[in-house]
């Protein structure tokens, strides 16, 4: 039996918004910016339980796969992905991903993300596992996530420059507790515990007809993981407590290449290593 709600104090403050986005990775920030651009007159509130750039986005290294090169196409990208997925893919979701991918990269460029380029100016594309064509756009060699996060957060800062309560607002150090529901089970906002100082401190409630959960993964349920410390599954738990249907929780992403040194932190090694032809060997010289 899943508890219906967390035990928390009665909200000490209330605010209203037209939409709340929970999470400040590439998904959450993109959702907030897109909603703000579509309706600048609406109040969009983005909340994150830590700092804006503490999620998984800036950890991504190798690049972004999209059919951007000469002779490539979304259909070829679709085929490669379905083969690599070994029958486990949601075909409609993959088709949406590969079809929208090129324009999504172009939108990031328009926002100011600086991807690596060839001397003639076109995107420098490389190849990674599962791709039969060079379609990986990257930034700073293996700092793609950091560059994408940088560009998105600058755009978010510009969009949230208006006075609080108008346009796009941000609350950090805000742990989402529970969804607020109407009598007939519709979403009506959520409760937060904000750790900080100011008007919105402690437990409060945000009333909003739309809540977007973009809280990332659950990788920290494992004792050994390549996921950041904030990947603790709070959004999934919040959704379950509200009676939301969730799916595919058995799929947990781990970065495939890690350098582990006893007594130290784990160092992620870019996927581009194998994409460029590198072989990984263990301490006994065995190829992995």
Helix or strand or coil: residue 196? coil
Query: For position 133, what pLDDT does the model report?
Result: 94
Q: Is residue 102 part of a domain?
A: yes
Query: Rounded distance, CA 237 to CA 139, Å?
Result: 34
Q: Is residue 202 part of a domain?
A: yes
Number of independent structural domains in the chain: 1
Tell me, what CATH number does 144's domain have?
3.50.50.60
For residue 39, which of 6, 17, 14 has the smallest C-alpha distance? 17
Q: List per-residue pLDDT tens for the chain, 288 residues long.
A: 455 778 777 888 899 999 999 999 999 999 999 999 999 999 999 999 988 888 888 888 889 999 999 999 999 999 999 999 999 999 999 999 999 999 999 999 999 999 999 999 999 999 888 899 999 999 998 889 999 999 999 999 999 876 655 689 999 999 999 999 999 989 999 999 998 755 567 899 999 999 999 998 898 888 888 888 888 899 999 999 999 999 888 988 887 777 777 766 667 787 777 777 788 777 776 666
Checking DSSP bridges between strand 64-65 and strand 44-47, what pairing results, if any?
unpaired
Residue 136, Cβ density class (10 Å: 0-12 exposed, 13-18 middle, ≥19 buried): buried
For residue 29, which of 12, 52, 63, 58 has the smallest C-alpha distance? 52
Q: Is residue 251 part of a domain?
A: no
Helix or strand or coil: residue 187? strand
Q: Is residue 255 part of a domain?
A: no
Is 249:257 a contact under the CB 8 Å cutoff? no
Q: Is residue 261 part of a domain?
A: no
Query: For position 98, what pLDDT does the model report?
Result: 98
Contacts of 212 (CB under 8 A, 6+ apart): 19, 20, 21, 22, 28, 31
Query: For position 2, what pLDDT does the model report?
Result: 55
Query: For position 3, what pLDDT does the model report?
Result: 58
Query: Rounded distance, CA 201 to CA 218, Å?
Result: 26
Q: What pTM value is reported for the model? A: 0.86
Query: For position 276, what pLDDT does the model report?
Result: 74
For residue 211, which of 5, 6, 22 has the smallest C-alpha distance? 22
Beta-bridge partner residues of 281: 287
Contacts of 112 (CB under 8 A, 6+ apart): 151, 154, 155
Query: For position 60, what pLDDT does the model report?
Result: 82
Query: For position 259, what pLDDT does the model report?
Result: 79
Q: Is residue 287 part of a domain?
A: no
Query: For position 274, what pLDDT does the model report?
Result: 73
Query: For position 164, what pLDDT does the model report?
Result: 58
For residue 28, which of 233, 243, 214 has the smallest C-alpha distance? 214
Structural domain boundaries enclosing 59: 14-241
Is 142:165 a contact under the CB 8 Å cutoff? no
Q: Is residue 282 part of a domain?
A: no
- Between the CA of residue 5 and those of 29, 37, 66, 179, what are the distances in Å? 27, 34, 41, 9
Q: Is residue 277 part of a domain?
A: no
């Amino acid at each position: 039996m899943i508890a219906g709600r967390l035990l928390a104090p009665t909200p000490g403050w209330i605010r209203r918004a037209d939409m709340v986005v929970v999470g400040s990775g590439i998904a959450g920030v993109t959702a907030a910016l897109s909603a703000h651009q579509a309706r600048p007159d609406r109040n969009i509130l983005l909340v994150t339980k830590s700092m804006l750039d503490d999620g998984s986005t800036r950890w991504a290294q190798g690049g972004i796969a999209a059919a951007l090169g000469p002779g490539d196409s979304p259909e070829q990208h679709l085929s490669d992905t379905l083969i690599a997925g070994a029958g486990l893919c949601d075909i409609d979701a993959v088709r949406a991903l590969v079809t929208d991918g090129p324009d999504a990269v172009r939108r990031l460029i328009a926002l100011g993300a600086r991807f690596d380029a060839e001397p003639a100016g076109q995107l420098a594309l490389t190849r990674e596992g599962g791709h039969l064509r060079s379609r990986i756009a990257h930034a700073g060699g293996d700092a793609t996530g950091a560059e994408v996060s940088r560009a998105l957060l600058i755009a978010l800062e510009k969009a949230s420059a208006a006075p609080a309560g108008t346009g796009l607002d941000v609350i950090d150090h805000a742990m989402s507790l529970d969804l607020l529901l109407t009598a007939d089970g519709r979403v009506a906002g959520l409760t937060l515990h904000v750790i900080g100082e100011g008007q919105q401190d402690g437990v409060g409630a945000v009333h909003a007809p739309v809540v977007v959960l973009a809280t990332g993964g659950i990788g920290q349920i494992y004792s050994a993981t390549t996921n950041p410390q904030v990947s603790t599954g709070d959004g999934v738990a919040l959704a379950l407590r509200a009676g939301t249907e969730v799916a595919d929780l058995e799929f947990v992403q781990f970065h495939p290449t890690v350098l582990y040194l006893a007594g130290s932190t784990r160092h992620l090694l870019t996927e581009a290593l194998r994409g460029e032809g590198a072989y990984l060997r263990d301490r006994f010289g065995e190829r992995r």
